[in-house]
């Protein structure tokens, strides 16, 4: 059929501009696919009429040479909202009869449930699978690794369970893996390092356990790593800092232990989120002129010691959060810190705020009682702020060292530690 199509196309293309019509078997498969997606209201499938599924069928594209259906692209977010929301049903296994499919994009259809047909792994021409934002359940097909041409696998924002199949690491051309926000459990496959082309590895918000395989050091094109909000344990591999183009690392909200690898703070990573783990030790004193961070989140760990002096020399820290640790000492001054909010430093054992911070961030009367619990405060307090009329009496859970300004408006002779 395909050969016939091709010849017909060649013969007719020049004189008539006729294109090859869709093979009846492809048309039947599409109609079965459609039948498994009942729509209560306005239907996106209204255009799916007539014999030629390659002509004007919404979201269907055919390959010019083979005349076969090559792409299905049905994005709920580009349709009237009633249409996407009113769709129910599931992806029919009949889709696997479209053996020349190169891309399947069925995204943002809230009502689309069911499982990913296991036979999808026989569609060896697939380059893109994007089923983001549906209500798909079940597991990732165990032999997904057969899809050697696959470049994009996006199953994010569904209810997929089971584990990440070991075979997935055979996808040697995969660049973009997004499994975020599902119910995937089990460990990250040991052989992760086989995926040489992956640049985005996003598995955040699942139930993944085990540790981060050291073979991740082999995924050397990795740019964006999201392992956040899982149950991942063990240490953060130092090897991550060997990945030259890695820019974003989010391991927040796991069960990671051990120290912060020094190398990570010296690499090209600009977004680093390690919050909500059990990390210990000091924040490595390795910042310098080339340190450029949009986000540096160390909050909710067991970090000790003081803030590293070298942080002062960082060229940029857009957002810093070291709150909820056991840090002590003073907060360095200088440009990397001036713009930071006080909440960045709260709930430590004895981090102190300097005069300049008070002056910058006051009015003190709104700020003292609510935002400084469990921190010590030292340095002179600017008079005008404390003297503000109506300064209410709060039980201040803070320690003030240094002179307390005297002024007529300041009705307290001493500040007590409560």
Ligand X SMILES: *[C@@H]1O[C@H](CO)[C@@H](O)[C@H](O)[C@H]1NC(C)=O
* Contacting residues toward ligand X, per CB under 6 A: 228-229, 252-253, 273, 275-276, 295, 297, 319
How far, in Å, CA of 101 to CA of 311, rounded? 52
Report long-range pairs for 380-389 (Cβ below 8 Å, ≥24 apart).
380/355, 380/405, 381/355, 381/405, 382/355, 382/358, 383/407, 383/410, 385/358, 385/359, 386/410, 388/363, 388/364
* Chain-centroid distance, C-alpha 207: 15
Q: Given the complex with ligand X, which of 33 and 347 has the nearer CB atom?
A: 347
- Cβ 223 to ligand X shortest distance, Å: 18
* Residue 252 vs 336, nearer CB to ligand X: 252
CA distance 413 to 289: 45
Dist CA 259 CA 144 (whole Å): 36
Quick one: 170 or 181, whose CB is closer to ligand X? 181
Nearest approach in angstroms of CB 402 to ligand X is: 32
**At residue 237, what are phi and psi to the nearest 5 degrees?**
-65, 130
Strands 185-187 and 200-202: unpaired
b/e per residue 78-104 (b: at least 16 CB within 10 A): ebeeebbbbbbbbbbbbbbbbbbbbbb
Tell me whether residue 141 or residue 252 sits nearer to ligand X (CB atom): 252
Distance between CA 105 and CA 71 in Å, rounded?
8
CA 131 – CA 153 distance, rounded (Å): 8
323 vs 352, beta carbon nearer ligand X = 323
Nearer to ligand X by Cβ, of 319 and 410: the residue is: 319
- The least distance separating ligand X from the CB of residue 292, rounded to whole angstroms, comes to 16
Of 117 and 252, which has the nearer Cβ to ligand X? 252
Q: How far is the CB of 38 from ligand X (least distance, A)?
A: 37
The C-alpha atoms of residue 400 and residue 352 are separated, in whole angstroms, by 10
Whether residue 404 contacts residue 378, with contact meaning beta carbons closer than 8 Å, is answered with: no
Q: How far is the CB of 128 from ligand X (least distance, A)?
A: 28
- Min CB(324)–ligand X separation in Å: 11
β-strand partners of 400 = 377
Give the nearest distance from C-beta 204 to ligand X in angstroms. 7
Neighbouring-strand partners of residue 129: 104, 153
Q: Minimum distance between the CB of residue 348 and ligand X, rounded to whole angstroms?
A: 17
Query: Which residue, 145 or 204, has its beta carbon nearer to ligand X?
Result: 204
CB 121, CB 147: distance < 8 Å? yes
């Amino acid at each position: 059929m395909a050969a016939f199509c091709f010849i017909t196309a060649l013969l007719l293309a020049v004189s008539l501009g006729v294109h090859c019509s869709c093979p009846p078997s492809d048309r039947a498969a599409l109609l079965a696919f459609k039948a498994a997606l009942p729509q209560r209201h306005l239907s996106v499938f209204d255009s799916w009429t007539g014999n030629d599924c390659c002509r004007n069928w919404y979201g269907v594209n055919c390959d010019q040479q083979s005349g076969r259906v090559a792409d299905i692209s049905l994005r709920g977010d580009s349709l009237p909202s009633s249409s996407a929301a009113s769709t129910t049903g599931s992806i029919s296994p009949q889709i696997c009869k479209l053996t020349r499919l190169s891309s399947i994009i069925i995204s943002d259809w809230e009502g689309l449930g069911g499982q990913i047909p296991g036979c999808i792994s026989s569609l060896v021409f697939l380059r893109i699978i994007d089923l983001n934002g549906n209500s798909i359940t079940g597991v990732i097909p165990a032999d997904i690794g057969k899809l050697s041409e696959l470049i994009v696998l996006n199953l994010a924002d569904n209810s997929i369970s089971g584990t990440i199949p070991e075979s997935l690491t055979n996808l040697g051309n995969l660049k973009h893996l997004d499994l975020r926000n599902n119910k995937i459990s089990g460990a990250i496959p040991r052989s992760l390092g086989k995926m040489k082309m992956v640049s985005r590895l996003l598995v955040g918000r699942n139930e993944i356990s085990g540790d981060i395989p050291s073979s991740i050091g082999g995924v050397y094109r990795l740019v964006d790593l999201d392992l956040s909000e899982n149950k991942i344990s063990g240490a953060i591999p130092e090897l991550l800092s060997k990945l030259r183009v890695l820019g974003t690392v989010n391991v927040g909200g796991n069960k990671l232990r051990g120290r912060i690898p020094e190398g990570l703070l010296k690499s090209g990573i600009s977004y680093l989120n390690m919050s909500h783990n059990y990390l210990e030790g000091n924040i490595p004193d390795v910042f310098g002129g080339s340190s450029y961070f949009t986000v540096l989140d160390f909050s909710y760990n067991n970090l000790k010691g003081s803030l590293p002096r070298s942080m002062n020399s960082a060229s940029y820290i857009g957002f810093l959060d070291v709150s909820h640790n056991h840090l002590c000492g003073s907060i360095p001054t200088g440009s990397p810190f001036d713009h930071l909010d006080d909440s960045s430093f709260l709930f430590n054992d004895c981090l102190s705020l300097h005069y300049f911070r008070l002056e910058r961030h006051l009015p003190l009367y709104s700020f003292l009682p609510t935002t400084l619990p469990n921190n010590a405060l030292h340095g002179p307090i600017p008079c005008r702020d404390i003297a503000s009329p109506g300064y209410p009496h709060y039980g201040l859970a803070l320690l003030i060292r240094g002179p307390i300004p005297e002024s007529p408006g300041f009705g307290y002779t001493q500040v007590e530690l409560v």
